[in-house]
Structure 1
Amino acid sequence: MAFMPLVWIVLLGLLVGLVVRLTRPPTDRGSGQGPGRAPPETPPPPETPEEILDRRFASGEIDADTYTEARERLAAHRPKPQ
């Protein structure tokens, strides 16, 4: 019987806390935003065909002749600036 007022106080506190939490606007908690947190990384832009060709040549996947021929083909198919 002595704990009944304590139980009611705890229940009222939980109810008030729930109402406050439900009526607040959503926060960016956990999204990486806020003080001391780095913004989320944006994905890098996709590689251009020339960059892919350069990377493959640099890693040794293709030889110099293949690289030169592919570069010439890419240059021939590029739209000309107006």
Structure 2
Amino acid sequence: MKDLAISLNIESSEVLEIFQWHNANQKLDNRENQHLQEELADTLIYIFYMCEKLQVDPFEIVAQKMKINQSRHWDTERKTQ
């Protein structure tokens, strides 16, 4: 399980790396978009592997979490001074 968690973290870091030197409004080019899709797939693969090991349905735990999140409120606008 530890190795799956490490691999998941590495793959999710590779998703973040795609955006590392972009400004907030910069769109991805076609090559970057393809790379992002590949890294998202890798991340999902490790998530599904972990769910299999834990014997949980990934779609069920997402649905449960979405119910919890419905009652939460986040301030999505950044305030600048």
TM-score of the pair, normalised by structure 1: 0.30
Query: Larger C-alpha radius of gyration, 1 or 2?
Result: 1
> Of the two structures, which has the highest relative contact order with CA contacts closer than 8 Å and spacing of 6 or more?
2
**TM-score, normalised via structure 2 length:** 0.30
